[in-house]
Amino acid sequence: MSKPFRLKLALLCTLTAILTGCAATSHPLQQDALPSVTSVPTVRVTQTATVTPIPIRVWVDPELPIAFRDAIPWSDPIQASGGADQADVQVTWETGGVKEGKTAYWIYALVAPFPTITDEVSSESIRSAWNGDSAEPFDGAPLLLSAETETVFEKLWGKPAQNAVQILPAQDLLDTAWAQRPGWAIVPFEELTPRWKVIQVDGVSPLDPALDESGYPLKATLGWSTTDGKEASGALADFQLPTNRHAGHLARVFMTGTTAMVRHMALRMEEKGVLYPADKIGDLLKSADLTHISNEVSFYTKCPPAKPLRASMRFCTSPSYMQVLKAIGADVIELTGNHLLDWGSDAFAETLKLYASENLAVYGGGWTQEQARQPYKVEVNGNKLAFIGCNPSGPSADWAGQDQPGSAQCDYDWIESQIRALREEGYLPIVTIQHIEVYDYKPTSAQRVISERMAKAGAVLISGSQSHFPQGFTFVGDTLVHYGLGNTFFDQMDFGSSRAFLDRNVFYEGHLISTELFTIKLQDYAQPRLMTPEERAALLKIVFSESGW
C-alpha cells in the first residue's frame, strides 16, 4: 500500500470518528417526557367595513323663530347646512297646507295685563287693528310685538299699517303693556307668564288642552321639504319638527273658596235633591285635571237632620252630601277650616275615613299635627305640584296635636322651610291659608305680610281659603296672590258674599303660566251659577280697583 493512500485512509477514519461522537444520543426516558403536540387551528379574522351614513344637510330659514330653530333635534346623519343652495332639505314657512309629519304649528296668544276685563276678541278685530282700522276693544291702541313676532305675522297677514303695531324687545312687552293699560300684545306660547291674561280669540284659547290648533287663528305653520322633491326615507323619514305647545304637558288646577253645605243650603239639598248645588258649575269644575275644595265642615252620621232648617252655627254635614264633591270632580280636600271639630274628634275621624274610602287626597289637617303638616304632592302631566296649608286663626280646639286630629296650626318658619325643600325637589308649592275672616275686598296687613313672605320663599301660588267675600289680588314677582276667593258652596245670600271666584290655574312644563278667573253668583241659597257678562264686569272692575290696579 502506497504512503499517499494510507494517509488518505487515516484522515477519513478520523473524520468519521469525530462525526459519530458529536451525534445526539437517544434516551428512552427523555423521549417519554416530551409532551405531545396538539395542532393549533388557524383563526381567520374577517374585518367588517364601517359604513359612514351620508350626511343629510338641512337648511333652516333664519327668519323662523329662534326658539323653533334652537329646538330642532339635530343628530347624525342630519346636519345643519350653511345655505339653502347646499341643502338636501329646507325648513321654512309652510304655505302649501298641512302635510303629515312634515309640518308643525308655532302657537301665539293675544294677551293683556292680568287686570283686564275683556275676555274674548274676534280674529277679525285683530286683523282690522293690524290694518289700521279702529276696532273694539283696541280703539286705535297699537299691538305690541317683538321684532321676531312681527316678522311672523307679516308673513301671515302682510305689512301692518303705520302705527298699528309697536315693536319692542321681547323682555319689555309685559311692563310696557301694564304701563299703558289697556295694552294688547301678541306673544309666543312659550313666553306666557302669570302677569299676562290670555284673551280668547273667536271663543278659543291656547290654554285649552282640547284646542284644535288647525283652526286657531294665531299660529304659524312651519314645514320642510326635500330640495329634489323626492319622498323622505331613512333617517329623514323620522325627522320631526318641534312645536312650542304640547297639549299633553298642560295641567289645569281649580282653586275654590269656602265650602260648608249647612243651614239653608242643606235644607235646599233636602228639598231639591242632593246634587242641586252642583247643577250649574259641576261640569266647569270637572274640566280641570285637579280640583281643590276647602270643605270646612265634617261629615257625621249623627248630624241632626237639615230639615226643618237648622240655623245653628255648630256645623256638620250628612255623609250623603259627599255626592256633591264627587259630582264636581273634587280631587284634593283642604282641611284648614275652623268648623271641622264643631262636633268633636269623632266626627272629624269619620270624615278622614270617608275621604280615604273615596280616594280623596287631603292636606292642611289630619290625624295628628305631624300628618296635618304634610304637603300633598302630585304630578300632573309632568308638572310636579305640592299643596300645603295651615290655620292661624283657630279656634285652638280645632288645631291638631301630637295625638289629636285637627287642622295644621300655622308656623311660618316651618312653612318657609317646607316651601324651600319642595322647590329643591322640583315641586311647585301651592300655599293656602285660613286667615281671619274679613268682609272687604282689600286684605288685612297680616294677609299682605304673610303672603309676601311665602312668595319670597318660593310659593308659585297663594290662595286665601278663609274668605266669605271676594277679595283682591297682587303679584310678588310672578307669584299670584289671591287673598280670598269667596264662597263656593255656602248659603250667604247678601250682595257681597253671594259673589265669588273660581281660579283655574294653568301649569305647563314645570311653570305656572296663567290663571283664568271664573266668576260665580249664589242663587236660592244653594246653587252657584256663572255670572252674566254684566255681573262679571262689575265684580272684576271693583276687585281690580281695590287691588290697586
The predicted pLDDT at position 6 comes to: 43
Which of 32-36, 94-98, 517-521 is predicted with the least confidence, judged by mean pLDDT?
A: 32-36
H or E element: which one contains 78?
Answer: strand 78-80
Residue 10 has pLDDT above 70, yes or no: no
Q: How far apart are CA 137 and CA 135, in angstroms?
A: 6
One-letter amino acid of 352: L
Q: How far is CA 427 from CA 240, 377, 512, in A?
A: 30, 8, 11
Give the separation between CA 549 and CA 538, rounded to whole angstroms.
15
User: In the chain, which segments carry CATH 3.40.190.10?
Assistant: 55-245
- d(CA 207, CA 201) in angstroms, rounded, equals 11
The stretch 488-492 carries a mean pLDDT of 98
Q: List every span in the chain annotated with CATH 3.60.21.10.
A: 248-547
The model's confidence at residue 9, banded by pLDDT at 50, 70 and 90, is: very low
Cα separations in angstroms, 349 against 113, 341, 405, 520: 45, 10, 7, 32
How distant, in Å, are the alpha carbons of 120, 137, 243 from that of 218?
Answer: 14, 17, 14
State how far the alpha carbon of 494 is from the alpha carbons of 130, 291, 311, 439, 522, in Å.
45, 26, 16, 11, 9
Residue 25 pLDDT grade (very low, low, confident, very high; cuts 50, 70, 90): very low
Classify domain 55-245 by CATH number: 3.40.190.10
454 vs 466: CA distance, rounded Å:
17
Q: How far is CA 531 from the centre of its chain?
A: 28
Task: Give 241-256 pLDDT, tens digit per residue.
Answer: 899 999 999 999 999 9
- State the Cα angle at 107 between 137 and 60, rounded to 5°: 130
What residues have CB less than 8 Å from 355, skipping those under 6 apart?
333, 362
Summarised one tens digit per residue, pLDDT across range 45-81 is: 555 555 667 788 899 999 999 999 999 888 888 888 8
Amino acid 287 reads S
Residue 543 neighbours by CB under 8 Å, 6+ apart: 441, 470, 471, 472, 473
In this prediction, residue 24 carries a pLDDT of 43
Residues 273, 291: Cα–Cα separation, whole Å? 23
Name the pTM for this structure. 0.89
Q: 234-249 burial, b for 16+ CB within 10 Å, e for fewer?
A: eebeebebebbbeeee
Q: How far apart are CA 25 and CA 244, in angstroms?
A: 93
Domain 248-547: CATH class, spelled out:
alpha beta
Percent of the chain with pLDDT over 70: 88
Give the pLDDT confidence of 270-324 residue by residue, as tens digits.
999 999 999 999 999 999 999 999 999 999 999 999 999 999 999 999 999 999 9
pLDDT (mean) for 259-267: 98
Using 50, 70 and 90 to split pLDDT, how confident is the model at 542?
Answer: very high
pLDDT at 33 > cutoff 50: no
pLDDT in tens, 98-150: 555 578 999 999 999 999 999 999 999 999 999 999 889 998 999 999 999 99
Q: Is the pLDDT of residue 445 over 60?
A: yes
Question: Environment class of residue 298 by beta-carbon count within 10 Å: exposed (0-12), middle (13-18) or buried (19+)?
Answer: buried
Cell digits of residue 538: 262689575
Cβ pair 395, 389 in contact under 8 A:
no
Task: Report the C-alpha dihedral over residues 302, 306, 309, 312, rounded to 10 degrees.
Answer: 40
Other C-beta atoms closer than 10 Å to the C-beta of 122 total 15
CB count within 10 Å of CB 155 equals 14
pLDDT at residue 232, as a whole number: 57
pLDDT of residue 47: 57
pLDDT value at residue 38: 46
pLDDT tens across 186-229, in order? 999 999 999 999 999 999 999 999 999 999 999 999 988 887 76
